[in-house]
Amino acid sequence: MRVRLRAVLTAALCALLMVAPFAQVRAASTDAAGPLTLGFMPYLNAEHLIEKYTPLARYLSEALDRPVHITVARDYAEHIHLTGEDALDISFLGGSPYVVIGEQYGLKPLLVRFEFDGMPTFRSVIVVERDSPYQELSDLAGTRMAFGSTNSTLSTQVPVYMLMQAGVRLEDLADRSHLRNHENVILGVQFGDFDAGAVAEEVFVENRDKPIRALAYSKPLSTHVFVTRATMDPALRDKIAQALLTLRDHPDSTEILGAISTTLTGFAPVSDSDYDPHRDILTVVLPVLKDQ
Amino acid sequence: MGRTFRYGRWVLLFVIVLILSLFTSIASLLVHTQLRNQLIAGETRKMEVEAALIGGILTDTMLRNDYVEGQHLLDDWVSDRQDVVVLDVTLDNGRTFFSFRRADNAETPLTLKQTFQYRNRVLSLTLCHDATELHDALAALRRSLFLLGLSLIGVTTLTLWYVLFRWMVRPMEEEITARTRDLNAARDSLEEKVAERTAALKKEVEIRRQTEAELRKLGMAVEQNPVTIFITDLAGRIEYVNPRFELMTGYARTEALGQTPRLLKSPETPQIVHETMWATVLAGRDWRGELKVRRKDGQEFWAHVSISPIKDPDGTITHFVAMHEDITERKQAEASMEESRHAAELANKAKTELLANMSHELRTPLNAIIGFSQTMRDGLFGPLGNDKYGEYVDHIHASGSHLLDLINDILDVAAVESGRLTLNEEEVDLADVQQSAIEFLASQAREAGVTLANAIGSDLPRLLADHRRLRQILLNVLSNAIKFTPQGGRIDSAARRDDDGGLVITVRDTGIGMDEQGLITAMTKFGQVDSSLARKHEGTGLGLPLTKGLVELHDGRLHLTSAPNEGTTVTIRLPPWRVLDPETVDADI
């Protein structure tokens, strides 16, 4: 299983590297007092991401007494590449990229994971238009469906797994598109370009005012995770992890966490085993996605 | 007229300005519209370019399903474009892809709608630009056009005003003024003629109306006349008869018309009368006479006949009109009067004979009685022997004298009334006559205890009168005054010239006087007012009537004024021609 998974992940990584041949790998900060980079995959629009995480970066800068700069990769492949090459001091990863990067580059030191409403897990949501006739996942055969990036845990890999579990194969879909981010998925369903779409529950919640509804939720999966480069001083790593874990006690925690998500209540400790379900899903899904 | 022209000038000026304003406004509107359309067209082309750009962006992002990037690009584009006030992008299912509205300026005429397709979807784009600049530009244009138009109107108006009124209107106005003056003169003349003609017509109508009224009145007068009237032509044929004709003659109108007046002719009327009558009227003169007329039933009646020719204005006889008035009653009355007059003449003759006989037969024995009684009273042949005889003789003499006076008065009255009394006129001195009368009555006045005063002086003019009758007048008046004045009374006589040159003689007493009825009685023959005084002073009762008759014989007038217990005044006025010396001054009493 491990061998198969490794082979699959290696192939996927190779594919990702092929689509991002010109991504620049910048060396992470080695200066003990130099600025740290906080990198994000573009699961949302870059400006939107910067806006969301700026309060957190400012908090970390104060806590670590050194600047923390936010950087957003052009796409998931670039972000995986940068993270795998330890080009980012702190990297925000979904469960699947963490697994993939671990398999390809070796496991990256874990810091914390998101805690939504006190839970360190989240779900993937398959949404349809509010007046849509579809009631079950099996109804989606023959429909047009939007997904996020193929490397996105919650907007592609998990929902594909959910469809497969419901007996709907990708080739059963009339059309399938992988959009640049979760917001595009929401808008694609809202505008009628797609009959259904898959996004993180966090994104769905933020867009509840739009004329969409949830068709199905996945099982809880460990939330997104912050990792550091493997070369980071363990003391700094522990300091960062401690700062993130104690953020909930900071006077400005509500503003800082609320800027990221209205349901984010803090950061929780994390271990590599928390992502075993992702490894299981990827084992099933990645071959399918690779074939498509 | 001048005021009318001045008013007309202003009206013309107003019309010119109005027309110029209208044309200028239309031209300005056209220019404004043209420029506005050009500005809008330019802006629209610009918007079309922008819309094409947006469409390209959207098509690209939609094809990539990168909605967020599309929205972000639109948001960035809009934020850099201050002139964009509305940008809406909707999909064919009604979903809004993008919506931007600048709240403070959402209303604009610069709106562009376009559609774009990606795959099988349609995007609708609505793009609105801010029209503030356009509005400002148009406002500036309007101001410029307004000022330009105003200047154009002013210059054109002044030019037209100068050209029109200097070269056209003023000569026209002068011509119109002259023509109007002529027309007014003609109108005044016409109105004057119309007024004259109207007045003449009114006068004619009035004359005709009066004539018709007169004719109607005359017709009614003829129709309702109590006199028989008929009209004949020159041949004597009856053409008209009035209702009275039918009533009087018994002939109906239809029977009479066309006949001649011979049907009324009485056989008793001599032929010569009719011949004379016809000769007279044919000669154009009126004929009047009394004829006997025969009715239809044969009865005859007397009629006063008047026949007159009817002439037209040039004097030609056209008809004759005959009027017959029934005078039967008058004829009968005249006959009766004639009989009465004849009887009266006979009676008067008998009375005259009676009086003549009385004058002779009564006065002869009375003269004997009065003469012999006077002889016996005077004892011409010796005393009567007994006083009783003397007393009787006095009574006989007094009664005889009274009776003789009575007879004389009666005879005088009769003579006056019959006109047989003639005056023996001569030059008379009134003072002498008056003095003689007073002396004659002096003893009577003394016996009555009455003072008899005479203020008639000798300076009065002499009169032309009958001496004896004038003395008789004065005696009667004074005697009456003495008789009716109680003892202690007074009688004043006076004379003066009247205003007309005549002579006025007055006798005023303080006697018993009379009321109105007494005055009438006094002037009645044999009338006396107070019977007790009459008995006391015997009189004939003929004195005043006889005196009045004698005064009137002298063409004078006698007048009494009296009131009970206030005396009586007798005034005798003689005409001026009786006064022989008019220069004599009045005599005061």
Domains in chain B: boundaries: 1-223, 225-326, 334-412, 424-578
DSSP conformation letters of B190-235: HHHHHHHHHHHHHHHHHHHHHHHHHHHHHHHHHHT-SSEEEEE-TT
CB contact under 8 A, A177 and B65: yes
Strand B557-562 and strand B503-509: the pairing is unpaired
CB contact under 8 A, B68 and A47: no
pLDDT at B356: 65
Q: Does domain B225-326 have CATH number 3.30.450.20?
A: yes
CA distance A223 to chain B (A): 24
What is the number of other CB atoms lying within 10 angstroms of the CB of residue B419? Answer: 8
Strand order across the beta sheet in which A90-93 lies: A68-72, A36-40, A90-93, A225-228, A110-116, A264-268
Q: Which residue of B has its CA nearest to A145?
A: B65
Encode burial over A111-150: b for 16+ CB neighbours within 10 A, e otherwise. bbbbbbeeebbbbbbbbbbeebebeebebbbebbbbbbbb
Assigned token pair, B553: 């014989």
The whole-angstrom separation of Cα B103 and Cα B83 is 13
- Looking at residue B474, its amino acid is L
CA distance A82 to chain B (A): 24
pLDDT at B402: 77
CB contact under 8 A, B91 and A181: no
The whole-angstrom separation of Cα B510 and Cα B513 is 8
CB contact under 8 A, A190 and B62: no
CB contact under 8 A, A188 and B65: yes
Contact A90, A37 (CB under 8 A): yes
Interface test with B, best of A44, A193, A195, A209 (most B CBs within 10 A): A193
Residues of chain A where predicted confidence (pLDDT) is lower than 70: 1-32, 291-292
Contact A240, A64 (CB under 8 A): yes
**In whole numbers, what is the pLDDT of chain A averaged over residues?**
87
Contact A72, A50 (CB under 8 A): yes
CA distance B132 to chain A (A): 34
Q: Same CATH fold, A124-217 and A2-119+222-291?
A: yes
A209 touching B, CB under 8 A?
A: no
List CB contacts (< 8 A) between A180 and chain B. Answer: 64-66, 68-69
CB contact under 8 A, B68 and A180: yes
List CB contacts (< 8 A) between B62 and chain A. Answer: 193
List CB contacts (< 8 A) between B66 and chain A. Answer: 179-180, 184
Assigned token pair, B9: 């000038």
Interface test with A, best of B60, B65, B66 (most A CBs within 10 A): B65
Q: If interface means Cβ-Cβ distance under 8 Å, which residues of chain B face chain A?
A: 62, 64-69, 71-72, 91, 93, 95, 97, 121
φ, ψ of residue B49 in degrees (nearest 5): -65, -45
Assigned token pair, B274: 């009719």
List CB contacts (< 8 A) between B93 and chain A. Answer: 191-192
Listed in sequence order, the residues at least 6 apart from A29 whose beta carbon sits closer than 8 Å to its beta carbon are: A35, A36, A37, A89
CB contact under 8 A, A191 and B68: no
pLDDT at B163: 78
Q: How far apart are the first and last CA of chain B?
A: 89
ipTM over 0.85 threshold: no
| CATH topology assigned to domain B424-578 | Heat Shock Protein 90 (3.30.565)
CB contact under 8 A, B91 and A191: yes
A180 touching B, CB under 8 A?
A: yes
A172 touching B, CB under 8 A?
A: no
B67 closest CB neighbour out of A47, A48, A188: A188
Q: What is the three-class DSSP state of B430?
A: helix
Q: Does domain A2-119+222-291 have CATH number 2.30.110.10?
A: no
Q: Quick one: three-class SS letters along B115-164?
A: EEEECCEEEEEEEEECCHHHHHHHHHHHHHHHHHHHHHHHHHHHHHHHHH
A179 closest CB neighbour out of B66, B91, B121: B66
CB contact under 8 A, B66 and A183: no
pLDDT digits (tens, 9 = 90+) for A216-235: 999 999 998 999 999 999 99
pLDDT digits (tens, 9 = 90+) for B158-203: 887 777 777 777 777 788 888 888 888 888 888 888 888 888 888 8
Strand B451-454 and strand B490-497: the pairing is parallel
The whole-angstrom separation of Cα A84 and Cα A93 is 11
A190 touching B, CB under 8 A?
A: yes
CB contact under 8 A, A184 and B67: yes
List CB contacts (< 8 A) between B65 and chain A. Answer: 146, 177, 179-180, 184, 188, 193
A45 touching B, CB under 8 A?
A: yes
Q: Angle at CA B397, nearest 5°, toward B392 and B403?
A: 125
CA distance A6 to chain B (A): 32
CA distances from B473 to B199, B339, B345, B418, B469 (A): 73, 38, 30, 19, 6
* DSSP single-letter state for residue B324: E
Interface test with B, best of A191, A195, A209 (most B CBs within 10 A): A191
List CB contacts (< 8 A) between A47 and chain B. Answer: 72
pLDDT at B536: 52
CB contact under 8 A, A188 and B68: no
CA distance B58 to chain A (A): 13
CA distance B99 to chain A (A): 14
Helical ranges in A106-233 per DSSP H: 158-165, 182-191, 201-206
Q: Does domain A124-217 have CATH number 3.30.360.10?
A: no
Render each residue's pLDDT in chain B as its tens digit; 589 residues. 556 666 776 787 788 788 888 888 888 888 888 888 888 888 888 888 888 888 888 888 888 888 988 988 898 888 888 888 888 999 999 999 999 887 665 566 688 899 998 888 999 999 888 878 878 888 888 888 888 888 888 888 888 777 777 777 777 778 888 888 888 888 888 888 888 888 888 888 888 888 888 888 888 888 888 889 999 998 889 999 999 899 889 999 999 999 998 888 888 888 888 888 888 988 889 999 888 889 999 888 888 899 999 988 888 999 999 998 888 888 888 889 999 888 888 887 777 677 666 667 777 888 888 888 888 888 888 877 788 888 888 888 888 887 887 777 777 777 777 777 788 889 998 888 888 888 888 888 898 899 988 878 778 888 899 988 898 898 889 988 888 898 899 999 888 888 888 899 999 999 888 888 888 877 776 655 554 554 455 566 677 888 888 898 899 999 999 988 889 999 999 999 898 865 544 433 2
Please give the helix or strand (H or E) that residue A122 lies within, else none: strand A121-122
CB contact under 8 A, B93 and A190: no
The whole-angstrom separation of Cα A57 and Cα B155 is 78
CB contact under 8 A, A192 and B91: yes
CA distances from B326 to B219, B294, B332, B349 (A): 21, 12, 12, 36
The whole-angstrom separation of Cα B245 and Cα B230 is 7
Crossing angle of helices A182-191 and B67-80, in 10° steps, is 90
CA distance B106 to chain A (A): 25
A50 touching B, CB under 8 A?
A: no
**Distance from chain centroid for Cα B331:** 43
pLDDT at A150: 84
CB–CB contacts below 8 A, A to B: 40
Q: Which residue of A has its CA nearest to B94?
A: A191
B67 closest CB neighbour out of A47, A48, A187: A187
Q: Which residue of B has its CA nearest to A129?
A: B95
Q: Which residue of A has its CA nearest to B119?
A: A193
Q: Which residue of B has its CA nearest to A210?
A: B95
CB contact under 8 A, A180 and B121: no
pLDDT at B58: 87
CB contact under 8 A, A191 and B67: yes
The whole-angstrom separation of Cα A156 and Cα A161 is 8
CB contact under 8 A, B68 and A183: yes
Max CA-CA distance within chain B? 213
A184 closest CB neighbour out of B68, B95, B97: B68
Residue A285's nearest CA partner among A124, A115, A164, A129 is A164
pLDDT at B385: 77
Domain spans, chain A: 2-119+222-291, 124-217
Residue bearing tokens 């992470």: A28
Helical ranges in B64-131 per DSSP H: 67-80
B95 closest CB neighbour out of A47, A183, A191: A191
pLDDT at A167: 94
The whole-angstrom separation of Cα A87 and Cα A23 is 11
CB contact under 8 A, A45 and B121: no
Contact A195, A175 (CB under 8 A): no
CA distances from B144 to B148, B151, B216, B468 (A): 6, 10, 90, 140
CA distance B92 to chain A (A): 9
